[in-house]
Amino acid sequence: MAHTVFHLRAGGVSVVIEASGTTLPVICHWGRDLGSLDESALARVAEHAHGTRVTSEPDHPLAVGVLPEPKQAWMGPPGLTGDRDGSAGFPDFDAVVTEVEQVDSATIAQRLVATATDAANRLAVRLEFELLRSGLLRVRAIVRNDGAERYRLDGLDLALPVPGRAAELLDFSGRHNGERRPQRTTITDGTHLREQRRGRPGPDAATLLVAGTDGFDFGRGEVWAVHLGWSGNQRLWAHRTNGGRTALGGGELLLPGEVELDPGEEHEMPWLCAAYGEGLDDASARIHDALRARPTHPAVGRPVTLNTWEAVYFDHTLEPLTELAALAAEVGVERFVLDDGWFLGRRHDRAGLGDWTVDPEVWPHGLAPLVDRVREHGMQFGIWFEPEMVNPDSELARAHPEWILAPQHRDAPLARQQLVLNVGHPDARAYLRDRIVELVSEHRIDYVKWDHNRDLVEPVDRVTGRAAVHRQTQAVYTLIDEIRAACPWLEIESCSAGGGRIDLGIAERTDRFWTSDSNDPLERQRIQRWTSLLMPPELLGAHVGAATAHVTGRTSSIDFRAITAMIGSFGIEWDLREATADERAALTGWISEFVRLRPLIERGRLHRLESEPAIIAQTVVSADRRHAIATIATIDSPAHLPGPALRLAGLDPAASYRVARVRPDVAADPTSTRRQPDWWSEAGVWPGAVLAEVGLPMPILRPQEAGLIELVAQ
């Protein structure tokens, strides 16, 4: 049987795919660009992927397809699993047709499609490979039931090979107010499996599963990372065989009976996204570049946002809110967001969710007086919803118990005094759509903070008795799409008890993420650093909170809080009525600097700098490398003072840069009495090669101190 080898190239990445008429496509190489290869060279790459037969393996070595099949003697996590009344449990696809499809896209460089049939089991599959211009690879499968009987689909995972030199794994865990905590381990034989059964990725989501060469870091080593672009249950895994073959894979985690295909029906899995890089920053940049190339990506100039939650909580009255709005405008806020507490019966968190009507007792004249006042100050107006949840103490829950996602004979356990609303119920989704569109249209609201505060425990459709996470996730996507179609001006922020739903599936429908409910800048330094591996800074809400953090009780300076918020979508979560005049003046100054630097922050390349654990530092560098900023923050007592010089990544070694600390004259600078390097107080010119290789002398910083540096090529 003749074999054809395809070579996809873009963004410094090569993907070599072998196809034949009898087996599903095999990825023979995914990694560094191989350059232009002739047929003979490509055949060598494919031959290498098959390996050499060893004892007790099949007589003719088989490479593992992107959709692993039992006939390939793959003993790792399976590709397609399902059955037809107990039969059709071992897929056997052949009659494979593979072709390159022409694309006319600003984001997609090349696209390969393979279709195959399984005559014995009466199934068909379509595999789609897209190499984006940034070098990000994404792959998905669509399965069709060609039989006359229903086919129950239990799982659909794809596998991407990584070379044997990959020795370590990195993924993430975390908790509410402590999202995306890295965890590393050695790759060993067997399966490293991360499953999410929360009905959302969750604060402990793997987020990215990264395999890398020994000791890989932000700027060194090779890494191969996968992410599933899906907002429901999912699984990511790494598997190494006892023969040393290694693959990364994953797919949607399907609950029993969630997907049953009637004759002729198809199921499309989410995109499995794959980023190769020479260091984590390189892989991350490919994801950022892919997002920024989308025509729907937010334009440069994300509004400075004030959210009212930590200022007023549920205490909604017009006078304090209009006072807060006036102070917000005074310091430079561009968007004012009214958080939880505006709707019927919502004086605390035990009632009201689901009753999306403005409470006449709190707002006797509706929201118009507040909206008008906010707009008079030149600010946009936003509002909070939590459409997917419902309080048992609500008119909606009492009227429509069948709309609640829970067992048929009882409620699911409460969490945060909430149950889950079954958005997959057509009438429930229509109700939510109509209420949100009506309010947004009435006031032409600019922005919705869309919250999702609890896990989907016992997610059962009360009407059908079937598990419903898959349907719920699709229905939420549909609901958002319908609202945006009706209100095309609207922007939406995705919040999920902070950063519990940050993924490339919901990113297709939203404009911003709430990174964490913790505004403690020390915690935020860590959370934002790792979350930004997936999402670029302009999509990550980063707010200046009160001096004493609501969540941790830790107190920090205005400068530390503001510098932490700079590398993100800058905002405020603070009752400015309680701020002193000096604090508001300092905040005004930092907002002014953010607005000035915003184009760089929102389109520059982010480099996370390697230093000792007590220091978190990064650069953001413009595409032409003529302009950059760097932040240095201490989150603990450094082991050494002043510590090793900080090597600044991303700069042009042939250029010279004017190096200056931003706002070095801030009032009562606590570092001014220490012996600091000259650049800390006076601007100077430095060769780019020196900054990159020798480094910038470190200032002496105590815990919870930070500096912002600007670099301009001369």
Helix, strand, or coil here: 74? coil
* Cβ neighbour number for residue 690 with a 10 Å cutoff: 17
Helix, strand, or coil here: 53? coil
Residues 198 and 233: beta-carbon distance below 8 Å: yes
DSSP state of 405: B
Beta bridge partners of 383: 338, 448
DSSP state of 691: I
Beta-strand relationship, 305-307 and 335-338: parallel
* Cβ neighbour number for residue 668 with a 10 Å cutoff: 9
DSSP letters spanning 462-519: TTT--B-HHHHHHHHHHHHHHHHHH-TT-EEEE-BTTBS--STTGGGT-SEEE--S--
Q: Which residues of 494-509 are buried (b: 16+ CB within 10 A; e: fewer)?
A: bbbbbbbbbbbbbbbb
Is 217 noted as a catalytic residue in this protein?
no
**Cis before 642? omega within 30:** yes
In which element (H, E) is residue 72 found? none
Query: Per DSSP, which regions of 312-445 are E strands?
Result: 335-338, 380-385, 389-390, 419-420
Residues 258 and 232: beta-carbon distance below 8 Å: no
Considering 118, 355, 451, 669, which one is annotated as catalytic? Answer: 451
Question: How many residues are there in the chain?
Answer: 714
Can you tell me the distance from the alpha carbon of 608 to that of 219, in angstroms, rounded to the nearest whole number?
8
Helix, strand, or coil here: 570? strand
* Cβ neighbour number for residue 703 with a 10 Å cutoff: 14
Is 559 noted as a catalytic residue in this protein?
no
Residues 7 and 44: beta-carbon distance below 8 Å: no
Can you tell me the distance from the alpha carbon of 238 to that of 236, in angstroms, rounded to the nearest whole number?
7
Considering 118, 359, 517, 559, which one is annotated as catalytic? Answer: 517
Can you tell me the distance from the alpha carbon of 147 to that of 408, in angstroms, rounded to the nearest whole number?
32
Can you tell me the distance from the alpha carbon of 50 to that of 38, in angstroms, rounded to the nearest whole number?
19
Lookup result for tokens 């789609």: 128
Helix, strand, or coil here: 296? coil
475: Cβ contacts below 8 Å, ≥ 6 apart: 423, 424, 429
Can you tell me the distance from the alpha carbon of 205 to that of 657, in angstroms, rounded to the nearest whole number?
40
In which element (H, E) is residue 368 found? helix 368-376
Lookup result for tokens 């919502």: 346
Active site residues: 451, 517
